[in-house]
Amino acid sequence: MQMVVFLYPGMTALDLIGPHELLSRIPDTTVKVVAETVGPVKTDTGIELVAEYSIDQIDSADLLLIPGGSETLKAMESEATLAWLRKIDATTQRTASVCTGSLLLAAAGLLHNRQATTHWAMRETLAELGAEVSTDRVVESGKYITAAGVSAGIDMGLTLLAQLAGEDFAQLLQLVIEYQPEPPFNAGSPETAPAHIMQLALQRRAETQ
């Protein structure tokens, strides 16, 4: 299987690294890391990831993975990126996104009238781009699989892993990475976060836009 992951400035590293940790371990899988141009790409926390290929060098994939990030809306302005997404998607068996990565897919016209999810703060934007927005953590619609915000990429990775390599292998890797979340707080979604925490999150978002 050929897995292609796409980098762009301002993406969130965990959106990619979480599912990559799982999916890259499928036997006989090769991973190609792609950006508009070859070289380092700075994430939204300043960590740099390196694209080994440019979009001009990659024209097919079995699995396409698109991360989200704080600069996704800017990435959506690139016609070159959107055209490339449409070209690659035409060849995939699975097309996946994490967090606001679904906005890129939707902007390319790939999620029109399909159920999809994204980070809770961008659900309205995803709907404006033609998707049927779900609040579920992982959403499947045909060959498309989308994950909600950031950490949901690990759940999506396990879901895909079970489909592509079997449930036993998925559970094995869940054990290997010791993925057994027990967060100290119940503030991981708008539906469960305390009202004052939700207000702080909205205030912070307004200040950074």
Helices and strands, number each (H, E), in the chain = 8, 11
Q: Compute the distance between CA of residue 145 and CA of residue 44 in angstroms, rounded to an integer.
A: 23
Q: Whose CA is closest to 71, among 34, 40, 92, 46?
A: 46
One of 99, 108, 139, 161 is an active-site residue; which one? 99
**Count of Cβ atoms closer than 10 Å to residue 9 Cβ:** 16
Phi (first) and psi of residue 173, to 5 degrees: -70, -30
Active site residue 99: yes
Q: Compute the distance between CA of residue 24 and CA of residue 49 in angstroms, rounded to an integer.
A: 16
Task: Please report where in the chains the tokens 């469960």 appear, as a residue.
Answer: 192
Catalytic residue numbers? 99
